Structure 1
Amino acid sequence: MHAFWHRYQTDTSRPTAQQVRRDLARRVLLPAVVLWCVVVGLGLLITGPLGNLEGEYAVNEWFVQQRTPALDAVTTVLSAIGQTEFLIGACVLAIALTWWRTRQWWYAIVPGLAVAVQAVIFLSSSLVVGRERPDVDQLDHAPPTSSYPSGHTGAAAAFYLTLAMQAQRIERPVLRWLVTVLCVLVPVAVGVARAYRGMHSPTDVIVGFLNGATCAVLSWNYLRRTP
């Protein structure tokens, strides 16, 4: 496991363009196709034979009953940090800073790769499944994509979990654990916020997190490294 977390430290060799293309195809694109099938399959199951899981409506109603001005304000911020515009800017900044610090472009692009792959799976599966948003009062303007899976949660999981992996380079144990825990909790908080604000059902959030987390792992492991 140590070799996995520190794979870009134990092998700092510069890959060739051919190696990058080969590894991307084999270690990211092919697994991503399988992931897309899983996400779409679950979505069609939820909206078809399972009849949209009636118990989910009770969960959405419970969130509505918990609403307060303070929680509305907090979830507004949490929802915003999962937005596409925010994460694109955060990705550009993270890539630039990592590239500047390590001089390893093949390592620096990992967060951007994770978010990009997640976005392709999210957008295409959303079109195929086409699930309606929860039938409750919604606190945000609904984007043109369907409810399933949660794009905010998926993008946040892809980006912040990648940062959690990069945080394993931090030498101070307390700081390393603090940053890691925060990066793991952020996408969870984003998912809860999206359900609280009436934008997604629980399964939208769960599958969105699964999509983003898987893309983070695939992207972190995209390049062959020799410890």
Structure 2
Amino acid sequence: MAKLQMSASEIKLMLRKLDFPFCAREALTCVEQLIMFLSGGRLPNTKAMEHAMELTAEFVFCEVDRRGGKKRPFTKIQELQLMEVLCDHFLLSGQSSVSGGLESNRSYLFSALFPPPAPASPSQSASGRSLQTLEARINLLCKLVSLAVATRNVPLLSTVGSWMAQAGGGATAVQSVRLSQCLVRDYIVLVPRSISRLKDLPFLAPLFAAHFLAAISEIYAGL
């Protein structure tokens, strides 16, 4: 409960004492609680989402330092560590009796982690939301979804389904189509017996399954 009473500045000071990936793990919890605290259970306002995106840029993706300067991209090992942290957070959050009923908070957190592309502006450079960083995040998201399907991470897949539904154009949005293409290329084609996992998707994560199938239909409609 103490974290809920901390300001964004106080959270930053606390997280700067931690090394990666521990700062990322702690930041996800702090961001989700901060959104819930500032929004009061309603749709988060612009200020709440700005704080959330600043925290994710510095402590989850480690794209910027405390002064807003750009940092080096993740190594492959760090990328794997982050995917593990993200999978664990959404899985535990979905299983928690406290946050299990607050699926909307997980959706808001996910939107802060993977916001839709927007025209670049001077403020985006400081918050880590440049087109280059968004591209890197989408690449990570593609791998994350493949891992979620393979491990049957239902809370994460359900959150991704909501994200696909909210994307401009729904299931046929550019992000949704690209995500589905990556899942086919990086998981279905490469992993033996992946079809058995896909057969369970409509029962485990129906919203994600519906948007995935719609996006796949869009991809192959013109062939």
**What TM-score, normalized to structure 2?**
0.28
- Higher relative contact order by CA 8 Å / sep ≥ 6: 1 or 2? 1
